Chains A and B, each alone.
Chain A
Amino acid sequence: MGDERLALQANEKDNVATVFEEGVTAGMQVTVVDAAGNRTVHAVADDIPFGHKFALCDIAQGELIIKYGEEIGVASRDIAQGAYVHVHNLDSMRGRGDLEKGA
């Protein structure tokens, strides 16, 4: 929608941004707009579907993933800057009955 490919960083603490464009593919430059309206350009390392997230910085396995300035999960493996962040590398920390088996 327009020439720029836009993504949103909802809060300054966030280490992920959400892409709100269709057709963002690996290697493309994406303009990340933060809550204050500042714009920074990031290259994405993977295809990122509309509404999905990528890492704004390197995130090590076990580090928290932050969106809206709040914890949305934990990195289940190392995530490089620009990489796609979703259920394959982000674990939820809540509703985890599987972690309580036999506890």
Chain B
Amino acid sequence: MPSFMGYKRPDGRFGARNLVGIIPSVTCANDVAQAINRQVQGTVAYLHHQGCCQLPPDLERVTDTLISLGRGPNVAAVLIVSLGCEGTDHARMYEELRATGKPVEIIHIQELGGVTKAIRVGTDIARRLAIQVSGLQREKADISNLVMSIKCGASDTTSGVASNCVIGAVSDRLVDLGATVVFGETTEFIGGEHLLARRAVTPEVGQRIYDIVDAMETRAKSIGCDMRRGQPTPGNIAGGLSSIEEKSLGAIAKSGSRPIQGVLDYPAFVMDQKGLWIKDTPGREPEILTGMAATGAQLMCFSTGLGAPQGFPSMPVIKICGNPYTFVRMEEDMDVNAGLVITGEKSIDEVADEVFAKILRVASGEMTKNEAIGYFSAIDIHCLGPVI
């Protein structure tokens, strides 16, 4: 049975990284979180733009998502940075994260007397947490402890016949080994939802797939224009994708062929759910990467054709490029060349072998290219209502 070396957390999950997560409870706390992050090694900051002047369901969604990020197995300890007057429930964040058994601390900028004092106090706390967790050792973990998230971004027509098919083959293998795989991008089910619904384990799950696609499409249509250029993007169109239907049919190839167990809400954290799951997310990188990290995924496999370089602070992202020309142009950002499927030099299964081996190494500590260059600060939380 394949295995990886991970950091065992109090909840039994295994982390691929051992980070101190600095969580601003609201966007107004970002600068303090960022200053602490810059000062203390081994920390990451989630610099999002939500958390106040939003409708109550969105405030709850932001609170839940931030809690799920803190619960993530790659996060060893948490420092919450609160302003003090925000709309999110920072007290609940603190309580629920404490209940996981991880070291968790919170500071309030207003209560501490301002930004510089909060940076000073927060830096002291983060330094202590970083030292406290830095001596943890990796232990052998069965592959069934892995939660892999998948996504495609900056797609072209190679994605649907090369890199997404490779990820689909990897997804099937992980599901068969008892692991968890989560895919999303509900917008990119439009035109292919019937194919996904057929793979649902129950009629109810199938109906839920239709419902989330309908809600996403209705939101887009409510603006009264053709969605094209929003989805597919100008880059997708330049890459040969003519419609959202064509993009979707290629995109869903990355989910492989196994049954779909259910649909997760955006903030949901998975504990015991095994097999293949959908998470209801948009396609845009900052929001879907946050949603996938909130799932508790230790890593992501990210398919691209035109070359999307983005990552996430606490979730290593493996870039799998389907376009052989892009791979050569952007090799410093791309981890695996699935373009060899297009040139006929490798089969989908051969590249899947390569990706599978890479996943085990990354889960055990090897850095991805994105991680090594630290290109992951643009993140956000997907909300449904207006900013008010």
Contacts and interface: CB of A to CB of B under 8 A. Distances in A.
A44 interface: no
B191 A72 contact: yes
A101 B228 contact: no
A51 B156 contact: yes
Given A94-B227, A97-B221, A22 B242 contact: no
Contacts of A65: 242
Query: Considering residues A70, A72, A73, which has the most beta carbons from chain B within 10 angstroms of its beta carbon?
Result: A72
Contacts of A3: none
Chain B interface size band reads 35 or more
Contact of B243 (A50, A68, A73): A73
B191 A86 contact: no
Query: Considering residues B156, B221, B305, B323, which has the most beta carbons from chain A within 10 angstroms of its beta carbon?
Result: B221
Nearest to B306: A51
B343 interface: yes
Interface in B140-169: 156-158, 160-161
A53 B342 CA distance: 15
Interface residues of A, number: 33
B242 A70 contact: no
B225 A90 contact: no
Interface string A79-103: 0000001110011111111101100
Contacts of B227: 92, 94-97
Contacts of B244: 92, 94-95
A16 to B, nearest CB: 9
Interface string B281-321: 00000000000000000000000010000000000000000
Contacts of B237: 86-87
B224 interface: yes
A86 B224 contact: no
B217 interface: yes
Interface string A28-60: 000000000000000000000111110000000
A94 B246 CA distance: 11
Contacts of A78: none
Contacts of B243: 72-73, 87, 90-94
B375 interface: no
Contacts of A87: 228, 237, 242-243
A71 to B, nearest CB: 6
B191 A71 contact: yes
Contact of A94 (B157, B160, B190): B190
A8 B243 CA distance: 18
Interface string B326-341: 0000000000000000
Contacts of A1: 324, 343-344
B338 to A, nearest CB: 13
Contacts of A101: 224
A86 B221 contact: no
State the 10 A-B residue pairs at the shortest beta-carbon distance, nearest first: A95-B227, A51-B240, A92-B243, A97-B221, A72-B246, A51-B157, A52-B240, A73-B243, A72-B245, A68-B249
Given A68-B250, A92-B227, 17 more contacts: A1-B344, A49-B240, A51-B156, A51-B157, A51-B158, A68-B249, A70-B191, A72-B246, A73-B246, A90-B243, A92-B226, A92-B244, A94-B227, A94-B244, A95-B217, A96-B226, A97-B223
Interface of A: 1-2, 8, 10, 18, 20, 22, 49-53, 65, 67-68, 70-73, 85-87, 90-98, 100-101
19 contacts: A10-B161, A18-B240, A22-B325, A51-B156, A51-B323, A52-B157, A53-B157, A65-B242, A70-B195, A72-B246, A85-B242, A87-B237, A95-B221, A95-B226, A95-B244, A97-B221, A98-B224, A100-B221, A100-B224
